[in-house]
């Protein structure tokens, strides 16, 4: 399976508009490509304009429609203007994927205020800002799919990641509450919790750490970004209309 291939899932998102944060690389890129291949118009959001342009071109080359917005997920005014620009561009907003995230790993005795604040601001405040901004257009059209990318680190913790684990655990609680608030407007809100996924981040850990990680995973391999994208694609589809407030764990059985 390649990141430009059509998913094995048969989902038709024609006429819908999706916004994906952190779309320039990794899981976010795979999600943007999947949604675009399913027929959605995709607003690709990140800070790296050059990488975003490449994602937009990949979606268009596959026959889809996409546009890019450079936005820092930590800044409320920028987020609000970005969401408004997306709605103005395509007339609606149906799918929000809060994927943007960072890590600043270190053990708690050595963790500085900046390392804590940067992760919480990006990974937790960012989804709050985008969710708040997306709520109005979705409530007006009485339809929406919100999907937050959490992590198994938010379920079981991970040494050296107290900031990251706290942000991802908080995102699960946020998901459950917003799901209750918006259910009456036919807006579902769910989370996906990936395990160890092939990425630049995991590659930087080195072969020794990666092999040790595989030993902890019952299926004995790392996941692929496209496998997380397929989970998002399902939750964004009409088939998931009775699923809200849940966290779909995609980790090869690591937390079972």
Residues labelled catalytic: 164
Sign of CA dihedral 46, 34, 13, 234: negative
- For residues 103 and 161, give the distance between their C-alpha atoms in angstroms, rounded to a whole number: 8
DSSP state of 109: G
DSSP H or E segment with residue 86 = helix 76-90
Strand residue runs (E) in 3-40: 17-21
| Residue 1 tokens, joined | 């399976």
- For residues 245 and 174, give the distance between their C-alpha atoms in angstroms, rounded to a whole number: 9
- For residues 85 and 256, give the distance between their C-alpha atoms in angstroms, rounded to a whole number: 42
CB atoms within 10 A of CB 244: 21
């Amino acid at each position: 399976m390649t990141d430009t291939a059509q998913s094995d899932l048969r989902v038709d998102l024609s006429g819908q508009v999706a916004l994906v944060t952190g779309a320039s690389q990794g899981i976010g890129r795979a999600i943007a490509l999947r949604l675009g291949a399913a027929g959605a118009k995709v607003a690709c959001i990140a800070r790296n304009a050059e990488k975003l342009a490449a994602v937009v071109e990949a979606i268009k080359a596959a026959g889809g429609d996409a546009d890019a917005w450079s936005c820092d997920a930590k800044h409320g005014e920028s987020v609000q203007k970005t969401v408004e620009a997306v709605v103005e561009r395509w007339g609606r907003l149906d799918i929000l994927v809060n994927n943007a995230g960072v890590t600043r790993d270190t053990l708690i005795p050595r963790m500085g205020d900046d390392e804590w604040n940067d992760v919480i601001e990006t990974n937790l405040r960012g989804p709050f800002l985008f969710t708040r901004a997306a709520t109005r257009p979705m409530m007006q059209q009485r339809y929406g799919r919100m999907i937050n990318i959490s992590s198994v680190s938010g379920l079981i913790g991970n040494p050296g990641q107290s900031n990251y684990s706290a942000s991802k655990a908080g995102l699960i609680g946020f998901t459950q509450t917003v799901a209750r608030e918006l259910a009456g407007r036919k807006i579902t809100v769910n989370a996906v919790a990936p395990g160890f996924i092939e990425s630049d981040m995991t590659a930087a850990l080195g072969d020794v750490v990666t092999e040790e990680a595989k030993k902890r995973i019952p299926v004995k391999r790392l996941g692929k970004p496209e496998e997380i994208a397929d989970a998002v694609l399902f939750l964004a589809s009409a088939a998931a209309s009775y699923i809200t407030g849940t966290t779909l764990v995609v980790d090869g059985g690591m937390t079972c």
